[in-house]
Amino acid sequence: MLEIKTLSKHFGGVKAVDNLDLQVERGEIMGLIGPNGSGKSTLVNLVCGVLKPTSGEVIFEGNPMAGQVPCARLRHGIARTFQNIRLFGGLTVWQNLWVARNSTEDIRSQNILRRWLGSGTTLKREIETMLEFSNLADKADVLASNLAFGEQRRLELARAVAAKPRLLLLDEPAAGMNQAEVAELEQRIRSLREQGITILLVEHVMQLVMGVTDRITVLNFGSKIAEGSPNDIQENTAVQEAYLGHSD
Partner 1 sequence: MDYYLNLINTIGIHTLLGLSAYLLILTGQVSMAQAGFFGIGAYTAAILTVIFEWSILSAIGAAMLVSGGVAFLVGFPALRVRGLMLVVATIAFSEFARMFFYNLKWRVVRDGAEIGPDGTMGFAEIRYFNDNGWLNWEVTIFLWVFVAVVMALIWWSDKTRIGAVLRAVGEDELAADSTGINVTVVKIAAMTAGGVVAGLAGSLYAHQVTDLDHHTFTVLLATFAIAYPILGGLSNVFGTLIAVLFIQGLLVEGLRFLGDWRMLLFGALIILAMNIKPLGLFDNQTIRILRNALGVKRRSGSV
Decide whether 60 or 94 has the Cβ nearer to partner 1. 94
Decide whether 88 or 221 has the Cβ nearer to partner 1. 88
Asked if 99 interacts with partner 1 (CB under 8 A), we say yes
**3-class SS string, 169-207:** EEECCCCCCCHHHHHHHHHHHHHHHHCCCEEEEECCCHH
Binding-site member from 98, 135, 166, 214 for partner 1 (CB under 8 A): 98
Asked if 87 interacts with partner 1 (CB under 8 A), we say yes
Nearest to 97 by CA among 74, 145, 129, 49: 129
Alpha-carbon radius of gyration of the chain:
18
Asked if 90 interacts with partner 1 (CB under 8 A), we say yes
Counting beta carbons within 10 angstroms of the beta carbon of residue 129, is it exposed (0 to 12), middle (13 to 18) or buried (19 or more)?
exposed
**Nearest approach, Cβ of residue 94 and partner 1 (Å):** 5
* DSSP labels, 1-67: -EEEEEEEEEETTEEEEEEEEEEE-TT-EEEEE-STTSSHHHHHHHHHTSS--SEEEEEETTEE-TT
Q: What are phi and psi of 120, to 5 degrees?
A: 110, 140
* Window 118-147: residues binding partner 1 (CB under 8 A): 118-119, 124, 140-141, 143
**Nearest approach, Cβ of residue 183 and partner 1 (Å):** 27
**Nearest approach, Cβ of residue 11 and partner 1 (Å):** 18
Asked if 167 interacts with partner 1 (CB under 8 A), we say no
Binding-site member from 69, 148, 175, 238 for partner 1 (CB under 8 A): 69
Asked if 240 interacts with partner 1 (CB under 8 A), we say no
Cα separations in angstroms, 140 against 40, 114, 134, 201: 33, 22, 11, 27
Asked if 48 interacts with partner 1 (CB under 8 A), we say yes
Asked if 50 interacts with partner 1 (CB under 8 A), we say yes
**Nearest approach, Cβ of residue 220 and partner 1 (Å):** 27
Are the CB atoms for 205 and 176 separated by under 8 Å? no
3 state SS of 237? helix
**Candidates 59-67, 114-122, 192-200, 222-230; binding stretch for partner 1 (CB under 8 A):** 114-122
3 state SS of 216? strand
**Candidates 14-22, 24-32, 78-86, 205-213; binding stretch for partner 1 (CB under 8 A):** 78-86
Binding site for partner 1 (CB under 8 A): 48, 50, 69-71, 74-75, 79-80, 82, 86-92, 94-95, 98-100, 102-104, 115-119, 124, 140-141, 143, 159-160, 163
